[in-house]
Chains A and B, each alone.
Chain A
Amino acid sequence: MLYRAHHGWLLGWFRRRLGGAPCAADLAHDTFVRVMQSREAHAIVEPRAFLRTLAHGVVANHWRRQAIERAWLETLARQPEPLAPSPEDRLLILEALYRVDAMLDRLSAKARSAFLLSQLDGLTYARIAGELGVSERMVKKYMAQAMLQCLLALQP
């Protein structure tokens, strides 16, 4: 019912926001999926305002994914020895990058760097401390902070 009454309007909203990009229909669909995930509502009051709020989140997420995808393709292109992951691998890695990026969303830049240097590049705390210009004790704090953020992001 909500879908039938507001789908056309929401699609128009996305088209205006995205300058007629072809993915507007997908994003409108994503938005309705989010509505259905809202629990035990007896009523959705002001449905358009609510849809607009969810849609803002969907659009922000869309731009973020695009930024990640672009950075990933650029990074691959810049590799001195051409890394040639299979198309399936590329997609799997990209999906993992989206998930990991969302988990790290709220961290400070330093905590984020510390965590990535440790988990992706395998640097010791001492080297991370040198790289970031902070104490080793601080690196340990960043690591705990970053892991907690990731855990909370997984938290239902």
Chain B
Amino acid sequence: MTMPSMHHVPGAAAPGFDDLQQAAEWFAVLQADSASDRERRDWQRWLDRGPGQRAAWARVEAVAGEFAGLSGWPARRVLEQGADGRQRRRRAVLRALALVPMAGMAGWLGARTLPWQGWTAAERTGVGERREIVLADGSSVWLNTATALDVAFDGPLRRLVLYRGEVLVSTGHRDPAEMRPLVVDVPQARLTARGTRFAVRHAAGDRVLLTVFEGAVEARPAAGPGVARTLSAGQQAWIHADGVDAPHAARGSDADWTRGMLVADGLRLADFLAELSRYRAGYLGCAPEVAELRIVGAFPLADTDRVLDALQVTLPVKIHKPLPWWVSVGPGSGASRR
């Protein structure tokens, strides 16, 4: 998946994610006072490997130069204050969102009178439903469409078990003495949060998609616990029972479902419809002739029929609906205004 570009220079070698990750690690090694001559030689060897490495390192230097330009000024306090303000705003947004799913909040308030020790509950959402639950430790969990989740906070772990669907977890710190790790278990792996906001989603092909928005998450595959991999903010990776694929850059819009929106930025129509079909019952198919059309827009998940109607108005497609639960999108007469 490519990202919309503002800085793209045609012809310049774009470093891959792995190159950037290695470059960042080399930067951390070389910045240490303890960096040895041997480490410097190893870095040089890495750099000489090819254009990907050199392009990645050029970016490291660009970033370091940006900070060096500020080093004579009292900039650190400014940037740390800026960060505080943002954290506050982000919390305010979460509070605002928390007002929406009344059912989830009411359920939580009711359950709070029960002792949390030994409390286990199956949380479920139907197709097209989304809601947030707040856990005993203050962590927030958004459940997306068609999701089943168990919460088990009674053992040595704060454990969530995701059977199907998708969750967005924002870890909380209501009790500073709470030291138990928060984990999400899926059949394929155990995901351990490190102070963080992240999403886990079951997908076709017996795999899950892990997206980290803040902090970091360690993924330990069930059949190969030796190949654990840690993802940091902005990364996304497919996880199988026997391994974790190479991470790639996540999109900020990957969490827009919590606001009831599906945001497409140049998405293929086929991918768009596959995504939309998660939020509606029945079959939703796409003809190969129109699969490659690209879509930009923000779509309300609460009314997928309206989204389909809108497609028909703006794209050269026709919606076929032979049965109420059977919808297929095929080539149409052209984008005609009604």
Enumerate chain A residues within 8 angstroms of B89, measured Cβ to Cβ. 60, 63
Are B24's CB and A148's CB within 8 A?
yes
Are B6's CB and A37's CB within 8 A?
yes
B→A interface (CB under 8 Å): 2-8, 14, 20-21, 23-25, 27-29, 31-34, 56, 59-60, 62-64, 66-71, 73-83, 85-87, 89, 195-196, 213-216, 232-234, 249, 256, 261, 263, 265-266, 293-300, 307, 310-311, 313-315, 335
Are B28's CB and A37's CB within 8 A?
no
Knowing that A103-B66, A125-B33, A147-B27 touch, tell me 9 more A-B residue pairs with CB under 8 angstroms. A43-B295, A50-B297, A71-B77, A71-B81, A100-B75, A108-B215, A112-B83, A147-B63, A156-B8
Are A44's CB and B296's CB within 8 A?
yes
**In the complex, which residue of chain B has the Cβ closest to the Cβ of A114?**
B28
For B77, give its contact among A41, A75, A85 (CB under 8 Å): A75
Interface of A is mostly: helix
CA distance A38 to B167 in the complex (A): 28
A115 to chain B minimum Cβ distance, whole angstroms, is: 8
**In the complex, which residue of chain B has the Cβ closest to the Cβ of A126?**
B33
CA distance A150 to B86 in the complex (A): 17
Is A16 an interface residue, CB under 8 A from the partner? no
Are B62's CB and A154's CB within 8 A?
yes
**In the complex, which residue of chain A has the Cβ closest to the Cβ of B266?**
A39
Are B266's CB and A151's CB within 8 A?
no
**In the complex, which residue of chain A has the Cβ closest to the Cβ of B313?**
A45
Given A45-B311, A96-B66, A97-B79, is A39 in contact with B74 using a C-beta cutoff of 8 Å?
Answer: no
Given A151-B23, A152-B249, is A100 in contact with B67 using a C-beta cutoff of 8 Å?
Answer: yes
Interface centre among B34, B59, B75, B266 (most CB of A within 10 A): B75
Are B76's CB and A45's CB within 8 A?
no
Are B294's CB and A53's CB within 8 A?
no
- In the A-B complex, the 6 residue pairs with the smallest Cβ-Cβ separation, listed nearest first, are A41-B296, A143-B28, A144-B28, A148-B24, A156-B5, A106-B233
**In the complex, which residue of chain B has the Cβ closest to the Cβ of A145?**
B232
For B73, give its contact among A49, A52, A93, A107 (CB under 8 Å): A93
What are 9 A-to-B residue pairs whose CB atoms are below 8 Å?
A41-B295, A42-B295, A46-B297, A63-B89, A93-B70, A106-B213, A125-B31, A125-B34, A144-B25
Given A125-B32, A147-B27, is A71 in contact with B232 using a C-beta cutoff of 8 Å?
Answer: no
Contact with B along A71-98 (1 / 0, CB 8 A): 1100110010001010000000100110
Are B62's CB and A119's CB within 8 A?
no
For B82, give its contact among A71, A85, A148, A155 (CB under 8 Å): A71
CA distance A100 to B261 in the complex (A): 29
Of residues 111 through 125 on chain A, the ones whose CB sits less than 8 Å from some CB of chain B are 112-113, 116-122, 124-125
Enumerate chain A residues within 8 angstroms of B21, measured Cβ to Cβ. 148
**In the complex, which residue of chain A has the Cβ closest to the Cβ of B2?**
A156
Are A152's CB and B20's CB within 8 A?
yes
Are A50's CB and B296's CB within 8 A?
yes
Are B28's CB and A45's CB within 8 A?
no
Given A71-B81, A96-B69, is A108 in contact with B298 using a C-beta cutoff of 8 Å?
Answer: no
Interface centre among B7, B62, B78, B89 (most CB of A within 10 A): B78
For A117, give its contact among B76, B82, B265 (CB under 8 Å): B76
Are B234's CB and A152's CB within 8 A?
yes
